[in-house]
Structure 1
Amino acid sequence: MSEHAATERTTSGKVLVVEDEPALARALAINLRAHGWEVVTVPDGRSALDAAATGSPDVVVLDLGLPDLDGTEVIAGLRGWTNVPIVVLSARQHGEDKVEALDLGADDYVTKPFAMNELMARLRAAVRRAQDAGAPQVAEVVVGDLVVDLARKRVARAGEDVRLTPTEWAFLELLARNLGTLVPRDRILREVWGPAYLHEGHYLRVYAAQLRRKLEADPAHPRHLITSPGLGYTLEP
């Protein structure tokens, strides 16, 4: 069997690693390849944007402390044209840093130091959500001036397409499939992010706010995406 054939059979996808610490970048590349990933590493933000545009990665692992651009600028730059999953890997542990990164469009946030097996699980979950967002379904939900097309994974508001990230879509889809029913916060965290995320309640607040900005006429007074504090969320018809 050729080496190329073996790589094709075992690959988990292509990951773009954006990390300016050479030792950590090498360690990540070695471990990711050992788990079947095709890996591209770059040391700065501008190289990351170029590599994402030319290499079509399945997921991006992004350090925030880069020598040229801040990682948040890279997130904003990527989200201007692609929904590729972004997993932030950063030493910044303050809650506001996590919220800012998620608010800009990151799909997950892992703090350093980290366990390699946890990072692998989060990468797999991010790619799985993105793949699920592209899978065909067979329904359409109409909520006011919103049309949630579950078959084509598209959302329109007042006839205009609304661009969602894979994680935003997964959140909205779960609510749409349970229209008018309270979906418990633990179920949302488990089904959208995975069982390891049951204590990451801030993810729900950030993503609910993002969805309201995109979907509600008045995000401060939502008519459709309703929060029941401490309980969960409802998409009201």
Structure 2
Amino acid sequence: MGASVTVHILEDDPGVSDSLQTYMKGLGHEAVVYRDAESFFGREPPAASDTIIVDLFLPGIGGAKVIGWLMGLKNPPRVIAISGQAQSVIDRQLSGVAGNFDILRKPLSPHTIAQMV
């Protein structure tokens, strides 16, 4: 396992966000959950060393807009987009979003997430 990082989890499904938070803490990382993008934007911008896990289909401001904002930061953090939608829907959501980020489909594999963080 690498160094401890802060993982910001933007997920409105409590079952998914709680599981991710518990798993990240078990790996020795700090994990903070936001039920919507507005709560995330109300805090200081993330550090370049942070990891952001963002559901593409958040209520209010969608995950694609969050990713676009994160990619526009001078030193963007690691970003992992998650979605349970069909690949064609994911592609439409992310159309026009440039940057280096990963995409994972739900259901999520703890092993895969651990390797990305």
What is the TM-score of this pair, normalised by structure 1? 0.43
Larger radius of gyration: 1
Find the partner of 2:112 among 118, 143, 154. 118
Deviation digits for residues 84-134 of structure 1, max 9, x if unmatched? 1110111123146248269432510000012111111122xxxxxxxxxxx
1:50 maps onto 2:65 in alignment: no
Structure 2 gap segments, 5+ residues each = none
1:105 maps onto 2:103 in alignment: no
Partner of 1:84: 77
1:1-237 equivalent positions in 2, closer than 5 A:
12-51=4-43, 53=45, 55-56=46-47, 58-81=50-73, 82-95=75-88, 97-98=90-91, 100=94, 103-123=97-117
Superposition misfits of 4+ residues, deviation over 6 angstroms: none
The structure with the largest helix share of the pair is 1
Percent identity for Structure 1 against Structure 2: 23
Asked which structure has the greater RCO (Cα within 8 Å, sep 6+), the reply is: 2
**CA contact 1:18–1:41 (8 Å) conserved in 2:** yes
The one-letter code matched in structure 2 to 1:110 is L
Q: In the aligned structure 2, how far is the partner of 1:65 from the partner of 1:22? A: 14
**CA contact 2:83–2:104 (8 Å) conserved in 1:** yes
Q: CA deviation at 1:60?
A: 0.3
Q: In the aligned structure 2, how far is the partner of 1:23 from the partner of 1:69? A: 20
Q: In the aligned structure 2, how far is the partner of 1:120 from the partner of 1:96? A: 25
Deviation digits for residues 23-68 of structure 1, max 9, x if unmatched? 2111111011001111111011122233351x53611000011111
Structure 1 gap segments, 5+ residues each = 1-9, 124-237
The one-letter code matched in structure 2 to 1:111 is R
TM-align CA RMSD:
2.4
